[in-house]
A and B are shown apart, each in its own frame.
Chain A
Amino acid sequence: MIYRIDIFPKQEVSSSDLVSQIKDLGIKGDFKVYCRKSYLIEAISARSDIEKVADSILIDPVVETYRLIEGVFNSKPKDNEILITHNPGVCDTVALSLDKAINDLNLEVKSTRTARFYKFQGLDKKDINYLASKVLYNPLIEHILDYEKNANLKTLDEFAGNDYKFELVTVDILNVDEDKLLEISDEGCLSLSLDEMKIIRDYFKRINRQPTDCELETIATLWSEHCAHKTFRGIINYQEQDQAGNLVKEEKIDSLLKSTIAKATTEINSPDCVSVFEDNSGVVRFDDKNNICFKVETHNHPSSLEPYGGASTGIGGVIRDILGTGSAARPFASIDVFCFSPWHISYDDLPHGLMHPKRIIKGVVSGVRDYGNRMGIPTVAGATLFDERFLGNPLVYCGTLGILPWNKSFKTVNQGDLVILCGAKTGRDGIHGATFSSKELDEQTVGLTSAVQVGNPIEEKKVVEAIIAARDENLFDAITDCGAGGISSAITELAAGHGVMVDLDKVPLKYRGLSYTEIWISESQERMVFFAKEKNIEQLKQLFDAEDVEMTVVGKVTNDNNLTLFYEKNKVCELDMDFIFNLPKLEKKAVWVNRSESDSKLDEKEDYNEDLKRVLSSPNIAPKDWIVHQYDHQVQAGVVIKAMSDIGNIKVSDASVVRPDLESNKCVAIGVGINPFYSDIDPYWMAALALDEALRNVVCVGAKLNKTFILDNFSWGSPLDEEILAGLVRASKACYDFATYFGVPFISGKDSLYNEYSVGEKRISIPGTLLISAAAVIDDFEKTLTAGFKKSGSLIYILGFTHPELGASEYFRSLKIKKGIVPKVDKKTAKDIFTKLSSAIDRRLVLSCHDLSEGGLAVAVSEMSLGAGFGANIFLSDVPSVSDTLNYELLFSESPTRFLVEVSNDNKKDFEKEMQGLPVGLIGCVCDDAELNIHGRDGRKIVNLDLDSLRKSWMDTFREFR
């Protein structure tokens, strides 16, 4: 028997949020939308048991009541009613919790499912049909429950009659021609090139048998761009040409990673780097007891299809990277960086098949919010940028930092260790089109295959607690996360150099019907793999039971260097690990045509009041307090400097500072640098500027370069496009040049390629985007610094030289000017500026400090004023610059390595002495009047704004999101 329970608020109100979303679609009129929670329960139990469940679990009796009906429907729903539920196989976290609660009550039910019931007033059926998939649900994970199909439904088991019967599948690759080889790769969605397929064929010729489907899938997974980083580790023939097409420079790069980013780390050779580019995250020294680790991942493609699920599994994935570092680290802070399309696009102008940016923005933010908050990890820092090219391909970067005892920073694998899988059960989630040829996929199987996933944070939270407890009891010595490729890559990579055998039938499944290959390559979330000694299994079981986490022994580490898989005692895979891990290097070609930069000079204006207000209101600059407030950014009690103050005036910080250990004064500053717009001029400088910005941000709060560590995360277009790949090469070269110059090592990184989409015939590629994330260890949190002005009457200095560099700047883009000189990091002074500023902050000579980035000096001084409620008087004539620099250039230039520094009168001499030899100017003072006055080169007042009007422009942009 199926029961349906609808939960009603006692005072039902129309959802204003849904009404406004529907109005955004262009549907007018006075209408109302009511949304109710609905539960479906299949049970043999008496109706009274179901009533007990409803009374004691499902409702809040103070504000809710319910209606119980027998069957999915008791009558045909009216035209203005719809019931929405998850697609089969999509994680229904609430139903899992309901199962737990019903079990607590000692009642028995067969299965549960959640749904949402919507009722409309004042809208007709046509409108409702139109709006449903636009605002109520995403067809990739949910569907409308159809009355005809479900009225007489007998079971909620979506997989009834779908049992799997073992049958070994082999693929003929020995006796086929090249065309057929490619066809096998294409039809199996293996994404293997002809060269790679031939190498695989040769291997199987050598061992004289055909591969199984499972073996091909394993190779395809481990050789995939995602797991193997073929572009970064492959061979690139890089050419530079002048504009006439003449070859200027030619270079054969064997592994872009090794010859740029990793090379920088090797050359810098920091004694604080513990484990870099080896593990799931980069590990560096924190103090005598602990190390910290940091990883940033992208989840761009899943977030464009299902923003909520994509973003939540993005943050869930990177948290597992931290948990899977060394022999497990505890996550203590997260960051997120988003690139979206501006949202003021009408539904009519939206290309077919793309989701509205507003829905993407809200979905991504709430995905990170719900997962991060439930994990109890503060999301402390980030950035959000906007460009039209992110319309069909938003960027979602999620990063997490962890802390681990120094003696737990590595993994040890021994022959005879048992292979343990723990956490969530395994389903068909994320199987890339499966191994079967598409012909074999009937409609039902397609429906059951869920490419898009939804996370279950509480499962992951339980896994974290169980694993950290087991780590502290020394019950295991090696661990890794299940990410891309699921257990196939996790187990194989962890057992590399030894060999392993796995019984796939032992893997706990979410539902019936999975083949051995599906089990092996499933990317179900919230799972970890670790290796433990047999003698520890009992204690591990007790510990995991106490946390309600499932753990299962699925295999054993061997010493034959083979990957051997069994299903019900049948051998389904036996591969030589030397072969698997020796993937062929691919050769790609990259061609860069040198671009000439041309400056654009504008006429000077009488005043720049309107220009400043316009730049401040840019979505790249306007404060994202509405995002920060939704994140539990203070959980774990270690946050010393918040990304944004959350009471009184909004005050932005350059970086956040967190204490991972409440018993230590040591802390970690976390900052990011990202500006894809400069890529349009030269990805080399884009990368250099991102790096400089990340360093500026952490130095502002008190970090020193020699204790700062960085991560690179590339989001790029297709590497098959020679120009786009050349851009990637240039950005990587800048990473090497400036990391070595500053002496700041990369400790981890990731690349996401093929970020492009089609609108009609047109292929749109995102601008090459490099995110640099910086983490810096600071000895004493008492010495850290916030950005807002502190004291009326104190002095304002500018540090760093201002060049007329406005190419791709906020100011030029706000005027739609495409020309201009891209800002350049000046190797003569940049490092000195950082070092001396750090020293001044350490000596407590500085009251507040803010870097100059998007919007330049004018925006930086505005932000410092708005945050504190103090005004400022600024004189541009004292800004270090060449004499013919124009006023707007001084105001809005984005030259890097510049800071505004507030210094009290008492420290004037000491500060100036410390800055000797650097480009520095005393340009004004902090004042009590709530006014910002900026005087131009000639002494004329060119900005005169009261803080209220300045604040209005700054705050208005995201009004509709607050």
Chain B
Amino acid sequence: MLLRDQSLPRKIVFDSFVLLIIWNVKKMRPKALVLRTAGTNCDKETTFAFKTAGAQADLYHINAIKETNNLSDYQIICIPGGFSYGDDLGAGKILSLELMLWLRDSIGKFIDKGGLMLGICNGFQVLVKTGILPDLDFKQKVTLTDNDSRRFEDRWVYLQKPETSNQKPERREENSERREARGEREKKPEDIWLRGMPEVFALPVAHGEGKFYAQEAVLDKIEKNNQVALRYVNKEGATGSFPVNPNGSLNDIAGITDSTGKILGLMPHPERFMFKHQWPFWQQEDTVPFGLKIFQNAVSYFSG
């Protein structure tokens, strides 16, 4: 009799414990949406990278998302690499048009609610052409245009986070001096996606239209706001011409964030460095797959 009475609360405790674990696991595993369309071609490995990094990941065609127009299930949205609609009218052009037409409000809400966004290669092109980058105001201010070599280039490059840069481009130093003279303080985007990355690391690029370009005033503002996330450098961390800068990007820009740091767009492919043997010299030297770290950063942002 006594035993039977005790069993009920015990069950409640047990069930709550299970629920707590499930809740914690859920908390630890943010949900990522990898958004594809006709011509997207890095979607499967990008989804795989999110899963390897510990996220739950769904891969959906934009036609399916257009139906529901609901992004609220997700903490992370990624637009992966590829040739959306063949890049026929310019890289990422038609997909960016569709995002603007169909998902503009949902994306705004998604970011407001604290979601993270990642655009890789073609996805980066989409983010700048929608105006999600650099300012999330849906106005295109910068572009990624034809490589100076005028052709597709697939090669490994070295990248550097500007904060850790020893050799900043001259103009930026002038700017910061000017700002200091005016007593302005630098407001930095939060370091989310690239937290803990080494000073210089390598990733592959693979694109025909990756030259970062903007009018001088726009470029200055991006620099001033510390929105440059990655620059092309050599192994020693110094900037240089082709092939160090594989496409002729202004200020050697390989990736930028929005002013909060939540949205990252980059030309290099982190999902192509989630195993050490993707590095061309894996047989000569030991290495860490730094691409995977970018996905892990997004996961740990939510799991704490």
A interface residues (Cβ-Cβ under 8 A, vs B) = 17, 56-58, 60-63, 93-94, 96-98, 100-101, 104-105, 366, 369, 373-376, 456-458, 461-462, 546-548, 628-637, 639-640, 642, 645-648, 651, 662, 781-782, 785-786, 788, 790, 868
CA distance A458 to B44 in the complex (A): 17
10 cross-chain CB contacts under 8 A: A63-B213, A97-B89, A105-B101, A374-B86, A458-B86, A458-B88, A547-B38, A631-B154, A635-B206, A637-B272
Q: Are A101 and B143 in contact (CB under 8 A)?
A: no
Pick the contact of B281: A60, A461, A631, A645 (CB < 8 A): A645
Q: Are B89 and A98 in contact (CB under 8 A)?
A: yes
Interface centre among B85, B129, B156, B275 (most CB of A within 10 A): B85
B interface residues (Cβ-Cβ under 8 A, vs A) = 38-42, 44-45, 48-49, 61, 63-64, 81-83, 85-86, 88-90, 93-94, 97-98, 101, 129, 140-143, 145, 150-157, 202, 204, 206, 213-215, 269, 271-272, 274-275, 277-278, 280-281, 283-284
The minimal Cβ–Cβ distance linking B284 to chain A, given in whole angstroms, is 6
Q: Are B284 and A790 in contact (CB under 8 A)?
A: yes
Pick the contact of B89: A101, A369, A462, A633 (CB < 8 A): A101
The interface residues of chain B lying within 8 Å CB-to-CB of A629 are 153-155
The minimal Cβ–Cβ distance linking B18 to chain A, given in whole angstroms, is 29
Pick the contact of B140: A61, A376, A782, A790 (CB < 8 A): A61
CA distance A928 to B283 in the complex (A): 18
The interface residues of chain A lying within 8 Å CB-to-CB of B284 are 788, 790, 868
Q: Are B93 and A57 in contact (CB under 8 A)?
A: yes
A962 closest partner in B (C-beta): B149
Pick the contact of B97: A57, A374, A547 (CB < 8 A): A57
The interface residues of chain B lying within 8 Å CB-to-CB of A651 are 280
Q: Are A60 and B154 in contact (CB under 8 A)?
A: no
The interface residues of chain B lying within 8 Å CB-to-CB of A457 are 83, 86
Q: Are B89 and A63 in contact (CB under 8 A)?
A: no
Interface centre among B88, B143, B206, B274 (most CB of A within 10 A): B88
The interface residues of chain A lying within 8 Å CB-to-CB of B206 are 373, 632, 634-635
Known: A458-B38, A632-B154, A785-B283. A97 touches B213 (CB 8 A): no
Known: A100-B85, A629-B154, A629-B155. A662 touches B45 (CB 8 A): yes
CA distance A648 to B204 in the complex (A): 13
Q: Are A105 and B97 in contact (CB under 8 A)?
A: yes
CA distance A374 to B207 in the complex (A): 11
Q: Are A633 and B283 in contact (CB under 8 A)?
A: no
The minimal Cβ–Cβ distance linking A512 to chain B, given in whole angstroms, is 25
Q: Are A548 and B277 in contact (CB under 8 A)?
A: no
The interface residues of chain B lying within 8 Å CB-to-CB of A94 are 86, 88-89
CA distance A101 to B87 in the complex (A): 12
A458 closest partner in B (C-beta): B86
Known: A57-B97, A97-B86. A646 touches B63 (CB 8 A): no
B208 closest partner in A (C-beta): A373
The interface residues of chain A lying within 8 Å CB-to-CB of B83 are 373-374, 376, 457-458
Pick the contact of A630: B88, B90, B143, B154 (CB < 8 A): B154
Interface centre among A62, A642, A781, A782 (most CB of B within 10 A): A62
CA distance A788 to B150 in the complex (A): 31
The minimal Cβ–Cβ distance linking A700 to chain B, given in whole angstroms, is 13
Known: A60-B143, A547-B61. A637 touches B86 (CB 8 A): no
Q: Are B88 and A373 in contact (CB under 8 A)?
A: no
CA distance A788 to B63 in the complex (A): 47
Known: A458-B38, A645-B281, A647-B157. A98 touches B97 (CB 8 A): no
The minimal Cβ–Cβ distance linking B229 to chain A, given in whole angstroms, is 19
A104-B97, A635-B206 are known; give 10 further A-B pairs, CB within 8 A. Answer: A58-B89, A98-B88, A98-B89, A366-B151, A374-B41, A456-B86, A634-B154, A634-B269, A637-B42, A790-B283
Known: A62-B140, A458-B86. A637 touches B278 (CB 8 A): yes
The interface residues of chain B lying within 8 Å CB-to-CB of A57 are 89, 93-94, 97
Helix, strand, loop or mixed for chain B's interface?
mixed
The interface residues of chain A lying within 8 Å CB-to-CB of B142 are 62
B279 closest partner in A (C-beta): A647
Please report the number of residue pairs spanning A and B whose Cβ atoms sit closer than 8 angstroms: 155
The interface residues of chain B lying within 8 Å CB-to-CB of A868 are 284
The minimal Cβ–Cβ distance linking A292 to chain B, given in whole angstroms, is 17
Known: A62-B142, A790-B283. A93 touches B98 (CB 8 A): no
Pick the contact of A462: B38, B202, B215, B277 (CB < 8 A): B38
The minimal Cβ–Cβ distance linking A811 to chain B, given in whole angstroms, is 31
Q: Are A637 and B154 in contact (CB under 8 A)?
A: no
The interface residues of chain A lying within 8 Å CB-to-CB of B42 are 376, 635, 637
Pick the contact of A461: B41, B49, B129 (CB < 8 A): B41
Q: Are A374 and B39 in contact (CB under 8 A)?
A: yes
The interface residues of chain B lying within 8 Å CB-to-CB of A98 are 88-89
B129 closest partner in A (C-beta): A60
Q: Are A62 and B213 in contact (CB under 8 A)?
A: yes
CA distance A651 to B284 in the complex (A): 12
Q: Are B85 and A97 in contact (CB under 8 A)?
A: yes
B271 closest partner in A (C-beta): A637
Pick the contact of A104: B45, B86, B94, B280 (CB < 8 A): B94
Q: Are B156 and A646 in contact (CB under 8 A)?
A: yes
B156 closest partner in A (C-beta): A647
Q: Are A637 and B283 in contact (CB under 8 A)?
A: no
CA distance A366 to B140 in the complex (A): 30
CA distance A646 to B275 in the complex (A): 17
CA distance A366 to B155 in the complex (A): 17
CA distance A611 to B83 in the complex (A): 46
The minimal Cβ–Cβ distance linking B82 to chain A, given in whole angstroms, is 6
B214 closest partner in A (C-beta): A62
Pick the contact of A62: B49, B61, B63, B215 (CB < 8 A): B215
The interface residues of chain A lying within 8 Å CB-to-CB of B150 are 17
The interface residues of chain B lying within 8 Å CB-to-CB of A781 are 277
Q: Are B154 and A633 in contact (CB under 8 A)?
A: yes
CA distance A630 to B150 in the complex (A): 11
Q: Are B85 and A646 in contact (CB under 8 A)?
A: no
Q: Are A630 and B153 in contact (CB under 8 A)?
A: yes
CA distance A548 to B129 in the complex (A): 23
Q: Are A647 and B277 in contact (CB under 8 A)?
A: no
A633 closest partner in B (C-beta): B154
Q: Are B63 and A369 in contact (CB under 8 A)?
A: no
The interface residues of chain A lying within 8 Å CB-to-CB of B86 are 93-94, 97, 374, 456-458
A788 closest partner in B (C-beta): B284
The interface residues of chain A lying within 8 Å CB-to-CB of B93 are 57, 60, 101
CA distance A548 to B281 in the complex (A): 41
B101 closest partner in A (C-beta): A104
The interface residues of chain B lying within 8 Å CB-to-CB of A636 are 44-45
CA distance A461 to B81 in the complex (A): 14
CA distance A366 to B208 in the complex (A): 12
The interface residues of chain B lying within 8 Å CB-to-CB of A17 are 150
Known: A62-B143, A458-B39. A647 touches B155 (CB 8 A): yes
The interface residues of chain A lying within 8 Å CB-to-CB of B64 are 546
A330 closest partner in B (C-beta): B44
The interface residues of chain B lying within 8 Å CB-to-CB of A790 are 283-284
The interface residues of chain B lying within 8 Å CB-to-CB of A105 are 97, 101
CA distance A57 to B269 in the complex (A): 26
The minimal Cβ–Cβ distance linking A293 to chain B, given in whole angstroms, is 19
Q: Are B89 and A639 in contact (CB under 8 A)?
A: no
Q: Are B151 and A376 in contact (CB under 8 A)?
A: no
CA distance A376 to B122 in the complex (A): 12
CA distance A440 to B186 in the complex (A): 78
B63 closest partner in A (C-beta): A546
The interface residues of chain B lying within 8 Å CB-to-CB of A634 are 154, 204, 206, 269, 272, 278
B48 closest partner in A (C-beta): A662
CA distance A632 to B275 in the complex (A): 18
The interface residues of chain B lying within 8 Å CB-to-CB of A374 are 39, 41, 83, 86
Q: Are A639 and B278 in contact (CB under 8 A)?
A: yes
CA distance A647 to B213 in the complex (A): 25
When A and B form their complex, which 3 residue pairs have the shortest distance between CB atoms, in order from nearest?
A: A376-B41, A97-B88, A637-B45
The minimal Cβ–Cβ distance linking B84 to chain A, given in whole angstroms, is 9
The minimal Cβ–Cβ distance linking A404 to chain B, given in whole angstroms, is 16
